[in-house]
Amino acid sequence: MKISIFGLGYVGAVTAACLARDGHEVIGVDVNPEKVDLIAKGESPIVEPGLSQLLVDGVAANLITATTDTEAAVLASDVSLISVGTPPIERGEPDLTYVWNVCKQIAKASIHKTESHVVVLRSTVPPGTLEKCQNLIDSITGNNSIHLAFNPEFLREGSAIKDYDQPPYTIIGTESPVAEAAVRQMYATVDAPFTVVKPSVAEMVKYVANCWHAAKVGFANEIGRVAKAFGVDGREVMNIIVQDTKLNISPVYMRPGFAYGGSCLPKDLSALLYYARNMDVPVPLLNALPTTNSLQVDLAAQQVLRLGARKIAILGLAFKPGTDDLRESPAVLLVKRLIGEGCQIKIYDQAVYEARLMGTNLTYIQNNLPHFEELLVAEAEQALKDAELVIVTHANPEFRQILQEALKEIQVLDLASVFTEPIEELNYCGIAW
Protein backbone atom coordinates (compact mmCIF):
# COMPACT_ATOMS: atom_id res chain seq x y z
CA MET A 1 0.00 0.00 0.00
CA LYS A 2 0.95 3.65 -0.34
CA ILE A 3 0.47 5.34 3.04
CA SER A 4 1.00 8.92 4.19
CA ILE A 5 1.49 9.51 7.91
CA PHE A 6 0.70 12.93 9.36
CA GLY A 7 2.66 13.59 12.56
CA LEU A 8 6.15 12.15 13.06
CA GLY A 9 6.24 11.93 16.84
CA TYR A 10 6.47 8.65 18.78
CA VAL A 11 3.43 7.01 17.19
CA GLY A 12 4.03 8.36 13.69
CA ALA A 13 7.73 7.53 13.52
CA VAL A 14 7.32 4.00 14.87
CA THR A 15 4.30 3.30 12.66
CA ALA A 16 6.16 4.57 9.59
CA ALA A 17 9.17 2.36 10.28
CA CYS A 18 7.08 -0.77 10.92
CA LEU A 19 4.82 -0.28 7.90
CA ALA A 20 7.86 0.15 5.64
CA ARG A 21 9.48 -2.94 7.14
CA ASP A 22 6.31 -4.83 6.22
CA GLY A 23 6.59 -3.70 2.58
CA HIS A 24 4.36 -0.63 2.41
CA GLU A 25 5.47 2.64 0.82
CA VAL A 26 5.37 5.35 3.49
CA ILE A 27 5.42 9.14 3.20
CA GLY A 28 5.99 10.92 6.51
CA VAL A 29 4.44 14.38 6.85
CA ASP A 30 5.14 16.92 9.57
CA VAL A 31 5.12 20.70 10.01
CA ASN A 32 8.51 20.45 11.72
CA PRO A 33 11.13 20.49 8.94
CA GLU A 34 13.79 19.12 11.32
CA LYS A 35 11.76 15.95 11.94
CA VAL A 36 11.07 15.61 8.22
CA ASP A 37 14.77 15.97 7.41
CA LEU A 38 15.76 13.36 9.99
CA ILE A 39 13.19 10.81 8.79
CA ALA A 40 14.13 11.42 5.15
CA LYS A 41 17.76 10.63 6.00
CA GLY A 42 16.80 7.52 7.94
CA GLU A 43 17.58 9.06 11.31
CA SER A 44 15.27 8.73 14.31
CA PRO A 45 13.92 11.93 15.90
CA ILE A 46 13.34 10.01 19.15
CA VAL A 47 15.02 7.40 21.34
CA GLU A 48 13.27 4.07 20.85
CA PRO A 49 14.99 0.64 20.79
CA GLY A 50 15.24 -0.79 17.27
CA LEU A 51 13.69 2.22 15.55
CA SER A 52 16.86 3.70 14.04
CA GLN A 53 17.72 0.53 12.13
CA LEU A 54 14.18 0.17 10.75
CA LEU A 55 14.30 3.75 9.48
CA VAL A 56 17.71 3.22 7.89
CA ASP A 57 16.44 0.06 6.18
CA GLY A 58 13.21 1.74 5.04
CA VAL A 59 15.00 4.70 3.46
CA ALA A 60 17.59 2.44 1.83
CA ALA A 61 14.78 0.38 0.28
CA ASN A 62 13.08 3.56 -0.99
CA LEU A 63 10.03 2.71 1.13
CA ILE A 64 10.27 5.75 3.42
CA THR A 65 10.24 9.38 2.32
CA ALA A 66 9.24 12.51 4.19
CA THR A 67 7.87 15.94 3.30
CA THR A 68 6.15 19.05 4.61
CA ASP A 69 3.93 19.13 1.49
CA THR A 70 0.50 17.85 2.49
CA GLU A 71 -1.03 17.85 -0.97
CA ALA A 72 1.85 15.93 -2.52
CA ALA A 73 1.63 13.29 0.21
CA VAL A 74 -2.11 12.81 -0.20
CA LEU A 75 -1.92 12.63 -4.00
CA ALA A 76 0.85 10.02 -3.79
CA SER A 77 -0.94 7.74 -1.26
CA ASP A 78 -4.08 5.63 -0.93
CA VAL A 79 -4.37 5.89 2.85
CA SER A 80 -3.53 8.74 5.23
CA LEU A 81 -2.85 8.07 8.92
CA ILE A 82 -3.32 10.95 11.37
CA SER A 83 -1.07 10.65 14.42
CA VAL A 84 -0.76 14.29 15.49
CA GLY A 85 -0.76 15.37 19.14
CA THR A 86 -3.86 16.18 21.17
CA PRO A 87 -2.29 18.05 24.10
CA PRO A 88 -4.36 19.22 27.08
CA ILE A 89 -5.48 22.82 27.39
CA GLU A 90 -6.84 24.89 30.28
CA ARG A 91 -9.18 22.49 32.10
CA GLY A 92 -7.84 19.21 30.76
CA GLU A 93 -9.80 19.33 27.51
CA PRO A 94 -7.74 17.89 24.64
CA ASP A 95 -6.71 20.38 21.99
CA LEU A 96 -7.96 18.90 18.70
CA THR A 97 -6.68 21.79 16.59
CA TYR A 98 -4.02 19.68 14.90
CA VAL A 99 -6.57 16.98 14.04
CA TRP A 100 -8.95 19.51 12.46
CA ASN A 101 -6.12 21.17 10.53
CA VAL A 102 -4.88 17.90 9.06
CA CYS A 103 -8.41 16.84 8.12
CA LYS A 104 -8.90 20.13 6.25
CA GLN A 105 -5.58 19.73 4.46
CA ILE A 106 -6.32 16.15 3.42
CA ALA A 107 -9.80 17.12 2.23
CA LYS A 108 -8.51 20.02 0.10
CA ALA A 109 -5.80 17.84 -1.41
CA SER A 110 -8.20 14.97 -2.14
CA ILE A 111 -10.35 17.20 -4.34
CA HIS A 112 -7.64 16.78 -6.97
CA LYS A 113 -7.81 12.97 -6.81
CA THR A 114 -9.95 10.89 -9.14
CA GLU A 115 -10.11 7.88 -6.82
CA SER A 116 -11.39 7.59 -3.24
CA HIS A 117 -9.10 8.08 -0.25
CA VAL A 118 -9.02 6.47 3.20
CA VAL A 119 -8.19 8.41 6.37
CA VAL A 120 -7.27 6.50 9.54
CA LEU A 121 -7.24 8.53 12.76
CA ARG A 122 -4.69 7.24 15.31
CA SER A 123 -4.55 10.24 17.66
CA THR A 124 -6.25 9.81 21.03
CA VAL A 125 -9.54 11.72 20.80
CA PRO A 126 -12.91 11.83 22.64
CA PRO A 127 -15.88 9.85 21.36
CA GLY A 128 -17.60 11.58 18.46
CA THR A 129 -14.43 13.05 16.98
CA LEU A 130 -14.28 10.80 13.90
CA GLU A 131 -17.86 11.73 13.06
CA LYS A 132 -16.90 15.41 13.26
CA CYS A 133 -13.88 14.71 11.06
CA GLN A 134 -16.18 13.10 8.48
CA ASN A 135 -18.55 16.07 8.54
CA LEU A 136 -15.66 18.53 8.24
CA ILE A 137 -14.12 16.66 5.31
CA ASP A 138 -17.46 16.24 3.51
CA SER A 139 -18.17 19.96 3.87
CA ILE A 140 -14.96 20.65 1.92
CA THR A 141 -15.10 17.87 -0.68
CA GLY A 142 -18.87 18.06 -1.19
CA ASN A 143 -19.08 14.28 -1.53
CA ASN A 144 -18.33 11.02 0.27
CA SER A 145 -15.07 10.24 -1.52
CA ILE A 146 -13.11 9.93 1.74
CA HIS A 147 -13.69 6.94 4.02
CA LEU A 148 -12.69 7.18 7.68
CA ALA A 149 -11.74 4.80 10.49
CA PHE A 150 -10.43 5.20 14.01
CA ASN A 151 -7.57 2.85 14.86
CA PRO A 152 -6.25 3.35 18.43
CA GLU A 153 -2.63 2.48 19.13
CA PHE A 154 -1.35 0.68 22.22
CA LEU A 155 2.37 1.39 21.86
CA ARG A 156 4.42 1.77 25.02
CA GLU A 157 7.51 3.92 24.75
CA GLY A 158 10.58 1.76 25.19
CA SER A 159 8.87 -1.32 23.71
CA ALA A 160 6.89 0.29 20.87
CA ILE A 161 8.10 -1.96 18.04
CA LYS A 162 7.38 -5.12 20.02
CA ASP A 163 3.95 -3.72 20.93
CA TYR A 164 3.29 -2.91 17.26
CA ASP A 165 4.10 -6.49 16.29
CA GLN A 166 2.28 -8.16 19.18
CA PRO A 167 -0.83 -6.11 20.07
CA PRO A 168 -3.63 -7.70 22.09
CA TYR A 169 -5.97 -6.85 19.20
CA THR A 170 -6.37 -4.45 16.30
CA ILE A 171 -9.40 -2.23 16.80
CA ILE A 172 -11.10 -0.70 13.76
CA GLY A 173 -13.70 1.92 14.57
CA THR A 174 -15.64 2.48 11.38
CA GLU A 175 -18.92 2.03 9.57
CA SER A 176 -17.22 2.10 6.17
CA PRO A 177 -16.41 -1.24 4.49
CA VAL A 178 -13.82 0.55 2.36
CA ALA A 179 -11.97 1.94 5.39
CA GLU A 180 -12.22 -1.40 7.21
CA ALA A 181 -10.71 -3.26 4.26
CA ALA A 182 -7.85 -0.75 4.06
CA VAL A 183 -6.95 -1.11 7.74
CA ARG A 184 -7.10 -4.90 7.50
CA GLN A 185 -4.74 -4.82 4.52
CA MET A 186 -2.41 -2.37 6.29
CA TYR A 187 -1.96 -4.76 9.25
CA ALA A 188 -2.14 -8.00 7.26
CA THR A 189 1.22 -9.17 8.64
CA VAL A 190 0.41 -8.35 12.29
CA ASP A 191 -0.69 -11.45 14.22
CA ALA A 192 -3.64 -10.15 16.21
CA PRO A 193 -7.43 -10.52 16.01
CA PHE A 194 -9.42 -7.67 14.44
CA THR A 195 -12.23 -6.08 16.41
CA VAL A 196 -14.55 -3.89 14.33
CA VAL A 197 -16.80 -1.52 16.28
CA LYS A 198 -18.49 1.84 15.92
CA PRO A 199 -16.00 4.75 15.90
CA SER A 200 -17.23 6.16 19.21
CA VAL A 201 -16.69 2.80 20.92
CA ALA A 202 -13.13 2.57 19.62
CA GLU A 203 -12.43 6.16 20.68
CA MET A 204 -13.70 5.42 24.18
CA VAL A 205 -11.66 2.19 24.43
CA LYS A 206 -8.42 4.14 24.08
CA TYR A 207 -9.31 6.50 26.94
CA VAL A 208 -10.50 3.65 29.14
CA ALA A 209 -7.33 1.64 28.51
CA ASN A 210 -5.03 4.48 29.55
CA CYS A 211 -7.21 5.46 32.51
CA TRP A 212 -7.20 1.83 33.66
CA HIS A 213 -3.41 1.77 33.42
CA ALA A 214 -3.28 4.95 35.48
CA ALA A 215 -5.71 3.44 37.99
CA LYS A 216 -3.56 0.32 38.37
CA VAL A 217 -0.45 2.41 39.05
CA GLY A 218 -2.26 4.51 41.66
CA PHE A 219 -3.91 1.50 43.28
CA ALA A 220 -0.65 -0.43 43.59
CA ASN A 221 1.10 2.60 45.07
CA GLU A 222 -1.64 3.12 47.67
CA ILE A 223 -1.46 -0.56 48.63
CA GLY A 224 2.30 -0.18 48.99
CA ARG A 225 1.89 2.77 51.39
CA VAL A 226 -0.69 1.00 53.57
CA ALA A 227 1.31 -2.22 53.58
CA LYS A 228 4.44 -0.42 54.71
CA ALA A 229 2.51 1.17 57.59
CA PHE A 230 1.68 -2.37 58.76
CA GLY A 231 5.30 -3.42 58.39
CA VAL A 232 4.47 -5.48 55.33
CA ASP A 233 6.32 -5.43 52.00
CA GLY A 234 3.76 -4.15 49.51
CA ARG A 235 5.59 -5.78 46.63
CA GLU A 236 5.08 -9.22 48.15
CA VAL A 237 1.37 -8.48 48.60
CA MET A 238 0.92 -7.33 45.00
CA ASN A 239 3.00 -10.22 43.65
CA ILE A 240 0.36 -12.54 45.09
CA ILE A 241 -2.55 -10.41 43.89
CA VAL A 242 -1.39 -10.40 40.26
CA GLN A 243 -1.09 -14.19 40.17
CA ASP A 244 -4.88 -14.25 39.92
CA THR A 245 -5.18 -13.82 36.15
CA LYS A 246 -8.85 -14.79 36.19
CA LEU A 247 -10.11 -11.79 38.19
CA ASN A 248 -7.21 -9.36 38.39
CA ILE A 249 -6.79 -9.40 34.59
CA SER A 250 -3.11 -8.49 34.13
CA PRO A 251 0.07 -7.90 36.13
CA VAL A 252 1.14 -4.93 33.98
CA TYR A 253 1.49 -1.77 36.11
CA MET A 254 0.17 -3.62 39.17
CA ARG A 255 3.14 -3.04 41.42
CA PRO A 256 4.14 -0.40 43.94
CA GLY A 257 6.67 2.06 42.58
CA PHE A 258 6.99 5.65 41.50
CA ALA A 259 4.25 7.85 40.04
CA TYR A 260 2.96 7.43 36.51
CA GLY A 261 3.82 10.00 33.85
CA GLY A 262 4.46 10.35 30.13
CA SER A 263 2.48 11.78 27.25
CA CYS A 264 -0.59 9.50 27.54
CA LEU A 265 -1.77 8.57 31.03
CA PRO A 266 -1.89 12.07 32.60
CA LYS A 267 -3.32 13.66 29.42
CA ASP A 268 -5.99 11.05 28.76
CA LEU A 269 -7.09 10.83 32.39
CA SER A 270 -7.36 14.64 32.45
CA ALA A 271 -9.45 14.57 29.28
CA LEU A 272 -11.85 11.92 30.59
CA LEU A 273 -12.30 13.85 33.84
CA TYR A 274 -13.06 16.97 31.82
CA TYR A 275 -15.82 15.23 29.89
CA ALA A 276 -17.21 13.59 33.01
CA ARG A 277 -17.50 17.01 34.66
CA ASN A 278 -19.18 18.48 31.59
CA MET A 279 -21.73 15.64 31.52
CA ASP A 280 -22.28 15.70 35.33
CA VAL A 281 -21.09 12.09 35.66
CA PRO A 282 -19.60 11.40 39.13
CA VAL A 283 -16.24 9.61 38.93
CA PRO A 284 -14.72 9.77 42.43
CA LEU A 285 -12.10 7.07 41.80
CA LEU A 286 -10.83 8.70 38.61
CA ASN A 287 -10.88 12.10 40.29
CA ALA A 288 -8.65 10.73 43.03
CA LEU A 289 -5.99 9.37 40.66
CA PRO A 290 -4.15 12.65 39.98
CA THR A 291 -4.14 13.35 43.72
CA THR A 292 -2.71 9.99 44.73
CA ASN A 293 -0.19 10.16 41.88
CA SER A 294 1.04 13.60 42.95
CA LEU A 295 1.20 12.36 46.52
CA GLN A 296 3.71 9.71 45.47
CA VAL A 297 6.05 12.49 44.27
CA ASP A 298 5.41 14.48 47.47
CA LEU A 299 6.22 11.46 49.63
CA ALA A 300 9.48 10.93 47.77
CA ALA A 301 10.47 14.57 48.35
CA GLN A 302 9.50 14.34 52.03
CA GLN A 303 11.60 11.21 52.43
CA VAL A 304 14.62 12.99 50.94
CA LEU A 305 14.20 15.88 53.36
CA ARG A 306 13.85 13.47 56.29
CA LEU A 307 17.11 11.82 55.29
CA GLY A 308 18.79 15.22 55.46
CA ALA A 309 20.71 14.83 52.18
CA ARG A 310 21.52 17.92 50.12
CA LYS A 311 23.87 16.54 47.45
CA ILE A 312 21.79 14.16 45.40
CA ALA A 313 22.35 11.90 42.39
CA ILE A 314 19.30 11.05 40.29
CA LEU A 315 19.37 7.88 38.20
CA GLY A 316 16.67 8.27 35.54
CA LEU A 317 14.96 11.48 34.39
CA ALA A 318 12.60 10.30 31.63
CA PHE A 319 9.21 9.00 32.68
CA LYS A 320 10.37 5.41 32.08
CA PRO A 321 13.56 3.59 31.02
CA GLY A 322 14.41 3.14 27.36
CA THR A 323 12.98 6.47 26.23
CA ASP A 324 13.88 10.17 26.15
CA ASP A 325 10.31 11.33 26.85
CA LEU A 326 10.31 13.84 29.72
CA ARG A 327 6.68 14.92 29.45
CA GLU A 328 4.93 14.69 32.83
CA SER A 329 7.84 12.62 34.14
CA PRO A 330 7.55 12.28 37.93
CA ALA A 331 11.36 12.42 38.10
CA VAL A 332 11.27 15.90 36.53
CA LEU A 333 8.71 17.04 39.09
CA LEU A 334 10.77 15.56 41.92
CA VAL A 335 13.96 17.28 40.74
CA LYS A 336 12.10 20.56 40.42
CA ARG A 337 10.80 20.19 43.98
CA LEU A 338 14.22 19.27 45.42
CA ILE A 339 15.95 22.19 43.68
CA GLY A 340 13.36 24.44 45.30
CA GLU A 341 14.35 22.96 48.66
CA GLY A 342 17.99 23.93 48.06
CA CYS A 343 19.33 20.53 47.02
CA GLN A 344 22.26 20.15 44.64
CA ILE A 345 21.31 17.75 41.84
CA LYS A 346 23.23 15.70 39.28
CA ILE A 347 21.28 13.50 36.86
CA TYR A 348 22.36 10.43 34.92
CA ASP A 349 20.04 9.26 32.15
CA GLN A 350 21.90 8.10 29.06
CA ALA A 351 18.88 8.17 26.74
CA VAL A 352 18.05 11.76 27.67
CA TYR A 353 21.70 12.82 27.57
CA GLU A 354 22.11 11.51 24.02
CA ALA A 355 18.68 12.56 22.74
CA ARG A 356 17.80 15.31 20.30
CA LEU A 357 14.94 16.78 22.28
CA MET A 358 12.41 18.69 20.21
CA GLY A 359 8.75 19.65 20.00
CA THR A 360 6.50 19.33 23.03
CA ASN A 361 9.11 17.18 24.79
CA LEU A 362 11.68 19.99 24.66
CA THR A 363 9.09 22.65 25.55
CA TYR A 364 7.98 20.69 28.62
CA ILE A 365 11.45 20.25 30.10
CA GLN A 366 12.42 23.86 29.35
CA ASN A 367 9.31 25.08 31.17
CA ASN A 368 9.93 22.90 34.21
CA LEU A 369 13.74 22.70 34.39
CA PRO A 370 15.07 25.57 32.26
CA HIS A 371 18.73 24.65 32.90
CA PHE A 372 18.32 20.87 32.79
CA GLU A 373 21.37 20.45 30.51
CA GLU A 374 23.58 21.71 33.34
CA LEU A 375 22.24 18.96 35.62
CA LEU A 376 22.81 16.08 33.19
CA VAL A 377 26.10 14.15 33.26
CA ALA A 378 27.52 11.71 30.74
CA GLU A 379 28.64 9.02 33.20
CA ALA A 380 27.09 7.56 36.34
CA GLU A 381 30.34 8.10 38.23
CA GLN A 382 29.99 11.86 37.70
CA ALA A 383 26.55 11.82 39.29
CA LEU A 384 27.64 9.73 42.28
CA LYS A 385 30.76 11.76 43.03
CA ASP A 386 30.28 13.59 46.36
CA ALA A 387 26.62 12.50 46.48
CA GLU A 388 25.02 11.94 49.90
CA LEU A 389 21.94 10.25 48.44
CA VAL A 390 21.15 8.32 45.24
CA ILE A 391 17.53 8.38 44.05
CA VAL A 392 16.60 5.63 41.57
CA THR A 393 13.53 6.28 39.40
CA HIS A 394 13.92 3.41 36.89
CA ALA A 395 14.15 -0.34 37.53
CA ASN A 396 17.06 -0.46 35.10
CA PRO A 397 19.61 -3.34 35.19
CA GLU A 398 22.35 -0.77 34.55
CA PHE A 399 21.31 1.18 37.63
CA ARG A 400 21.24 -2.02 39.68
CA GLN A 401 24.85 -2.69 38.71
CA ILE A 402 25.84 0.91 39.45
CA LEU A 403 24.37 0.72 42.95
CA GLN A 404 26.02 -2.61 43.72
CA GLU A 405 29.38 -1.05 42.89
CA ALA A 406 28.70 2.26 44.66
CA LEU A 407 30.34 3.44 47.84
CA LYS A 408 28.56 1.85 50.79
CA GLU A 409 28.21 5.10 52.71
CA ILE A 410 25.87 6.57 50.08
CA GLN A 411 22.21 6.36 50.99
CA VAL A 412 19.86 4.90 48.35
CA LEU A 413 16.21 5.86 47.92
CA ASP A 414 14.68 3.31 45.54
CA LEU A 415 11.47 4.58 43.91
CA ALA A 416 11.24 1.91 41.21
CA SER A 417 12.03 -1.42 42.94
CA VAL A 418 15.38 -1.74 41.19
CA PHE A 419 16.09 -4.45 43.78
CA THR A 420 13.44 -7.04 44.56
CA GLU A 421 14.48 -6.97 48.20
CA PRO A 422 16.65 -4.66 50.36
CA ILE A 423 20.41 -5.05 49.96
CA GLU A 424 22.07 -5.38 53.36
CA GLU A 425 25.33 -3.84 52.12
CA LEU A 426 23.52 -0.65 51.03
CA ASN A 427 21.89 2.05 53.14
CA TYR A 428 18.68 1.35 51.27
CA CYS A 429 15.03 2.37 51.57
CA GLY A 430 11.90 2.87 49.47
CA ILE A 431 8.56 4.64 49.88
CA ALA A 432 6.30 1.61 49.45
CA TRP A 433 8.43 -1.20 50.91
67 is in an annotated binding site: no
Whose CA is closest to 271, among 83, 100, 125? Answer: 125
124 is in an annotated binding site: yes
How far from 57 is each of 22, 53, 131, CA to CA, in Å?
11, 6, 37
The answer for 421, left when phi > 0, alpha when psi is -120 to 50, beta otherwise, is beta
30 is in an annotated binding site: yes
CA angle 181/117/114 to nearest 5° reads 130
155 is in an annotated binding site: yes
| Alpha-carbon span 378 to 360, nearest angstrom | 24
37 is in an annotated binding site: no
Residues with Cβ within 8 Å of 174's Cβ and at least 6 positions away in sequence, in order, are: 130, 147, 148, 149, 150, 180, 183, 196, 199
Residues taking part in catalysis: 264
Is the distance from CB of 417 to CB of 255 less than 8 angstroms? Answer: yes
206 is in an annotated binding site: yes
204 is in an annotated binding site: no
**Residue-by-residue DSSP string for 39-81:** HHTT--SS--TTHHHHHHHHHHTT-EEEES-HHHHHHT-SEEE
261 is in an annotated binding site: yes
393 is in an annotated binding site: no
267 is in an annotated binding site: yes
β 389-392/25-29 pair status: unpaired
86 is in an annotated binding site: yes
Indicate the annotated binding residues for NAD(+). Answer: 30, 35, 86, 124, 157, 267, 327
Indicate the annotated binding residues for substrate. Answer: 154-157, 206, 253-257, 261, 320
Indicate the annotated binding residues. Answer: 30, 35, 86, 124, 154-157, 206, 253-257, 261, 267, 320, 327
